[in-house]
Every structure is written in structure tokens, then in C-alpha cells.
Amino acid sequence: MYELVSPVNPLAVLRYVGHLLLVFSAVLLVPMLAAFVLGETTAAIIYGSSALITAGTGVILQKVLPDFELEIKEALILAAITFPLCSLVSAVPMALFTGMPFLDAFFECVSGLTTTGLSLAPLSPTKLFFFTRSWLQWVGGIGIIVLVLGILIRPGTTAFRLYRVNFGESRIRPSVIATARTLGTVYFVLTLLSLTLLLLSGMPFYDAVCHALCAISTGGFSTQTASIGAYKGFLIPFLITVSCIMGAISFSLYPEVLKDPGALIRDPQVRYMLGLSVLGTALFALTLSGGAGWLELLHTLPDAAFQVVSALTGTGFSTIDIAPLSDASKSFLSAIMCIGGSIGSTTGGIKLFRLIVIVQLIRLVFYRFFLPREAITPLKVKSQVLDSEEVYHIMTYVLLYSAVLVLSAFIFMLYGINSADAIFETSSALATAGLSTGVTAPGMPSLLKLVLCADMLLGRVEIIPLLILLLPRTWLERRSKTEENRVKAEDKRVQEDTA
């Protein structure tokens, strides 16, 4: 109890920021190598220097500060710091080698690491620019904390708490370190599978690499201005759709599927995803056809299916121009984006598991009208029984998500943007989807860029850790000495009772 109401230890957080920077310096080395391959020597020097400075800072923090065991709140703070800090670090070399304004470069890096896909790309982007942001999306998809756990953190309490605040308490291996490495292996194998499929479809190697990185991470950056619409035929959009779905399924499910393939279809989140995709395709096709008739409806089905899956999985690829769509079509896609994919995947949004809980809760409320008051009716998802605390947490998150969306859309409306576009753009950012009506552009006001950055970060870390980071009580002691002694005495009594 004491650790939850006391302020965090800034030195402990800084010590593990050192771990984070050391791992992220290795992430910056990949664009450096790509720059050499692509013949962009100046960019290679910039990225190499940035990697060296980042690694040096990380080593200094680790050497100067003593070792600490992270408490839960400190692990939450580290989770909240990770994405904005790494975005700042990666924005410096991007701004230097592209000549972009720093805010635009920061926006691009936030969009990449949060796997969103909204872009403020310069007028003449280079191949290195496209690869770098695709690489950032891939790294952000697996989660930088997974890299830290898999590479630097030794097994113990700190590793468990870092894992818990990022992925919950479920594990597919005996230790959280082994679980993190297994999840990383699954992610890597899925990426190779996606790359192989795209190469077999005839997509050029460079494009295939960039799109595979962005599809499995459900990011959505493309090397083409028209996104996937630039590729003719049925095969490439279909394989991209398959890759998006693979990235939107919980990675912890894949080892189980290898033992029992039927586990895939028995998973309630997968069933909801497939059901929503089919139903959403039909409804979105209706909005696209505008009631023009069956032939027009059938003609729109391929694009409708691709766009619905892209929105639901939070990927953000497109085969059609979103800007001229009707308000009904934009509103429908906004709702689909907010749902998102499975918990434990790379997607954003509210997530399918929370949607299932809400549906089950509504069903339970109606069901209890026909039962005696004393009847016990637990809330269950598959075989998992949810306690009241879990339900409170889910409902709180949904309310916070809705409040952030409404506030963000309202700010956009104050700048004269119509309600459908404002809701669409902020839904896309908060759900880390990346679809755009054209509102997101280099010329948009700086405040709106910052609002979208905040939405992308809130959507990626799921709001609560970032809010805890900003609470004064997180950093400052506000209790009297008497209250502190009472809390410590209570903790001691609980420990004695437990013993």
C-alpha cells in the first residue's frame, strides 16, 4: 500500500531510463546502416552520432546512479516516459537529415513509434525517410520495453513489474523475461512471413520491406502517396489485409495455436474481429454505394473490406481517398477505428476484450431482471471470471478514452474544421490508426499538431500511465508525518498477518 501512495523515486526512474536509452541507441543504428546502403552518407553520420550520444547518455545514467528495484508506480512512469522520450531522441536526426521543422519531425516519430501512421512528410521524401519511419513503426509495435526486458533487465521483481504494467499478468512462459523473448520471436517470424508473402505477390523488395514492417506493426506508413491504392490488382491488398489481421491478433495466442490450431477460432477476440469485419464491410459498402443499387454495392465490396479491416486493426493503409467520403462513411470508420484489435497485439483503440466485457455486462444487466435478487451471476469472458475491480478499470478507461476524444475533436472544431473530419482525425490519432481525411498536413496549426501528438501517445500507452506521470502527487509528498506513520504501521501489520 505504501508504495502506491508515496511519491516515485526519480533516481530509480532515471536509472532505468539509462537502460532504455542504451537499447534505443541500437535502434538508431539501423537507419545509419540503411543510409550507407542507400548512399546517403550525411544521414548515416547524423544517425551514427545520435546513436553514440544516446548510448553514452544511457551508460552514464547507469554508472552514476545506484541500482534500484522499481516499484509499480515507477514502472508505470517508465512506461509513460518511453514513447515521448524515444520520439524526441529519434526526432533530432530526422529533423537534421530531412530539413523538416523539429515539431514536424517529432510528430512523424511519435506517429511512427506509436504505430499510428499520420504523416507530415516533406515534399520530396527520400527512400531513407520512408524506411526510417517504417522501422520506427516496427520497433514501436513490439514495444521498446520488450526490447529492454529481452536484452538488458535481469530476472526479478523489476522485470516482473515492467512486464506487468505493459502487458498485464498473463504469461506464456515461466518467467517474464522468457515471455518477452517469446513475444519478440513471434513478432519477428510474423514479419518474415508478411515479407515473404509480399515478395511472392510481385511487390518490389524495398516496398515489400517497408510495407511488411508497417503491416505487422499495424502502423500504416506507405512508400506510395496513394498508399495500397497505388498497387493494381487484388493480390497485394489481400495479402496486406492478411498481414494486418496477423498483427491484430494477440501474440500470446500464436504459441498456443501451434499446439492446437482450433484455439485461434475459439478465442473470443478473434471471433469478434472476424464478425465485425464481415458486418462492417457490409455496412461500409452501403455507405459507399449511397443506395445506388446492387451492382454498385458489389463493386464497392473489395475496397470496403480492405478499409474496414485496416480501420479495425488500426493499421491505416487505404485503397481509396478518404477525404471525399460522405459524413456517414467517415463516422462509421471513426467508430470502427475506436474499437481496435486484440489486447496483446500491436493495435490501438479501446480493444476487443474491453468491448466484449461491455457487451457481457449489458447482457448481464438485462439477464438479472429475470433472476432472484440473491442469485449469483458472475461476469465471465470465455472461462475467465472478472472481478469488480477489473470492470471498474475497464469502464474508467472507456470513459477517459471518450473524454479525450471529445476534447480533442472540440479543439479541432474551434479551428473551423467540420465535425465529421474533426472526429475522424482525432479518432484516428487516439486509436493509433493513421487514416486521414487530409486535415493532417505540414501546414496545419502547431496546436493541432500537438493535440494529435498527445492523442497518439495517450492511445499507445492507454491514457492512465500518462495521467499518473502528470499528477503532482506522483512526484511530491503531500501527507503529514502522522499519516505516513499510520500507513507504514498498517503495511507492517498486514505483512505480519500474512506471515
Is the pLDDT at 336 greater than 70, yes or no?
yes
State pLDDT tens for residues 104-150: 999 999 999 999 999 999 888 999 999 999 999 999 888 766 665 55
Percent of the chain with pLDDT over 70: 87
Per-residue model confidence as pLDDT tens digits over 24-74: 999 999 999 999 999 999 999 999 999 999 999 999 998 898 887 777 787
- For residue 480, pLDDT beyond 70: no
List, in order, residues 6 or more apart from 277 with CB less than 8 Å away.
305, 308, 309, 312
Per residue in 389-428, pLDDT (tens digit) is 888 888 999 999 999 999 999 999 999 999 999 999 999 9
Separation of alpha carbons 256 and 270, rounded Å:
14
Q: Which H or E run includes 474? A: helix 472-475
Which residue ranges make up each domain of the chain? 1-169+462-499
Using a pLDDT cut of 90, give the percent of the chain over it.
56
**What is the structure's pLDDT at 421?**
96
Task: Find the length of the chain.
Answer: 499
**pLDDT tens for residues 274-328?**
999 999 999 999 888 776 667 777 888 999 999 999 999 999 999 999 999 999 9
- Is residue 245 over pLDDT 60? yes
Cβ(109)–Cβ(314) under 8 Å? no
Which pLDDT value is given to residue 364?
A: 85
d(CA 188, CA 487): 46
* Section 169-197 average pLDDT: 81
- List beta partners, residue 380: 385
Q: What is the pLDDT of residue 288?
A: 86
